[in-house]
Amino acid sequence: MKKNNFVLKRFSLTNRLLITATLALVIALSLIGFVMDQAFKEKTMHLVKERLEDYVYALISVIEATEDHSITVPDNDHLPILKLTQPASGIYAQIISEKYDWQSISMIGADLPTPNILSTNNTTFDTPLHFRGKDFFRMTKGLIYQPQDDVEIPFTISVTEDAKNYFRELGEFKEKLWMWIFFTSIILLGIQGLIMNWSLRPLKRLTENLAELEKGKIDRVSDDYPSELAGLTNNLNKLIENERGNLNRQRKTLGDLAHSLKTPLAIIHSELENTGATNKLLISEQVASMNDIVEYQLKRAAVAGHRTFTVGMPVIDKLEQIIRTLDKVYRNKKVKTHLQIAPGAEFFGEHGDLMELLGNLIENAYKWCDQNISVTIKTLTLLNRRRTGLIVEIADDGPGVNKAKRSELLKRGVRGDEQVKGHGIGLSIVNDIVESYQGKIEIKYHELLKGAHFIITLPP
């Protein structure tokens, strides 16, 4: 089995298509040739039968009765069929009755078997009749000649044709037929090769694009491809963008981590160099701050981000899990949660990202609300996208977020030690997740609940 798979891998897509198309063409042309050959045989045989039958009826027209109640062919030299008057012409006729046995002049020198005597209205057609190494076609009819009402003369009439002309014509037809089929197949194979080369050119160009991408000559695959490959190239470009986004996010996280640790490390270093008594409380505070910073940056680094190839997960299951947990934590507030979730809403990403996104936003709502929270989740559909995105709206009846601080909360690059008090590192993590999924987050005022209104849009 492995050997067969190895052999198949060695065949390029072009070779596979060329071999299968060639085999299909050869089989199709062979079938066409066979059918045409059979059709020609049947048609020619039908013409032979009709011709011999016409000869039989032509001979019947010259038969006459005699006085002794027999039959005769009175004029052998003026028969309606000229070849019957020419010796060895290839057309032979015989008439046999009880008192009469007639042969055409063409029978002179011919060696033919005697026809069978047939009863009235019986007909035989021998195709072919083999006799002493030769082939013939013969039609024999049993008839009655009735010169008077009370007189019936039964007789048998037989017309024989040499089959050599038939087989010669058949051979010539076969030779020409297969010659033309051969030349036609050569032409069609050439056209097929050109069509295949033209059809597979986008695949070859895609291979060249990928090679240039690997060498760093280009940063994305070209979009100029047929519709059959457009889905593949679009997904490849998205995959490349996702991976670059993840790499940039990790680099940014490391840079932010290093930058964030500078201040507490400098304070600790300065305190340790102090010749006086060491302020352990100050050092403990800075160590705790460093732990918070590391925890925050680790969470940022763990964000998976948008994935081109992933399976959707139902949002309602995760949402209910988060609300059950927060209801226990904030059971003394007796929070009323109002849910509106679109049927079939799914999140196409990592489980941890969804839990972090919804968990932080809803926990903030629980923390700052007076008693009511609204969670609305809608599906977002875009043209030519098979999967759906999400619009998440979370609002509470708390004090809301000051307009002046909204932009600061969503400002890119704000680190954990610089967050607005009350929202902590949670909202920054939410912002990073939304950005990693190429989405956006807005903070508004909720007209009904009179509190903060967070709107997150995650495209498909």
Q: Is residue 216 part of a domain?
A: no
What is the structure's pLDDT at 10?
Answer: 62
Task: Say yes or no to pLDDT of 291 above 70.
Answer: yes
My answer on whether 236 and 114 are in the same domain is no
Decide if 212 is inside a domain.
Answer: no
Clarify whether residues 454 and 317 are in a common domain: yes
Pick the last residue of a domain from 269, 301, 333.
301
Would 78 be classed as within a structural domain? yes
- Residues 270 and 373 placed together within one structural domain of the fold: no
| 337 and 284, same domain (yes or no) | no
In a domain, 384, yes or no: yes
The reply to whether 107 falls in a domain is yes
Reported as a single tens digit per residue, the pLDDT across 275-287 is 667 677 877 877 8
Which residue range is the domain that position 71 belongs to? 62-162
Mean pLDDT of 403-422: 55
Please report which confidence band the pLDDT of residue 307 belongs to, taking 50, 70 and 90 as the band edges. Answer: low
User: For every residue of the chain, which 3-state class applies, written as one string?
Assistant: CHHHHHHHHHCCHHHHHHHHHHHHHHHHHHHHHHHHHHHHHHHHHHHHHHHHHHHHHHHHCCCEECCCCCEECCCCCCCCCHHHHCCCCCEEEEEEECCCEEECHHHCCCCCCCCCCCCCCCEEEEEEEEECCEEEEEEEEEEEEEEECCEEEEEEEEEEEECHHHHHHHHHHHHHHHHHHHHHHHHHHHHHHHHHHHHHHHHHHHHHHHHHHHHCCCCCCCCCCCHHHHHHHHHHHHHHHHHHHHHHHHHHHHHHHHHHHHHHHHHHHHHHHCCCCCCHHHHHHHHHHHHHHHHHHHHHHCCCCCCCCCCCEEHHHHHHHHHHHHHHHCHHHCCEEEEEECCCCEECCCHHHHHHHHHHHHHHHHHHCCCEEEEEEEEECCCCCCCCEEEEEEEECCCCCCHHHHHHHCCCCCCHHHCCCCCHHHHHHHHHHHHHCCCEEEEEECCCCCCEEEEEEECC
Residue 355 lies in a domain: yes
CATH of the domain at 427: 3.30.565.10
* One domain, residues 291 and 364: no
Least confident of 139-143, 254-258, 348-352: 254-258
pLDDT at 423 over 50: no
Q: Examine the domain organization and report whether 320 and 419 are in the same domain.
A: yes
Final residue of a structural domain among 108, 142, 162: 162
pLDDT (tens digit per residue) in 353-407? 888 889 889 988 999 999 999 999 999 887 766 778 899 999 999 988 888 787 7
| Whether pLDDT at 27 is above 80 | yes
- 144-164 pLDDT, tens per residue? 888 776 778 899 999 999 999
Residues 232, 357, single domain; the answer is: no
Q: Is residue 176 predicted with pLDDT exceeding 60?
A: yes
Provide the domain count of the chain. 3
Task: Return the pLDDT at 56.
Answer: 92
340 and 454 share a domain?
A: yes
Which residue, of 253, 272, 301, is where some domain finishes?
Answer: 301
Same domain, 344 and 271: no
* Same-domain check for residues 130 and 256: no
Q: Is residue 48 part of a domain?
A: no
Q: Is residue 55 in a domain?
A: no
Check whether residue 320 and residue 434 sit in a common domain: yes
pLDDT the model gives residue 71:
86
Average pLDDT, stretch 254-279? Answer: 72
Asked if 438 and 335 sit in the same domain, the reply is yes
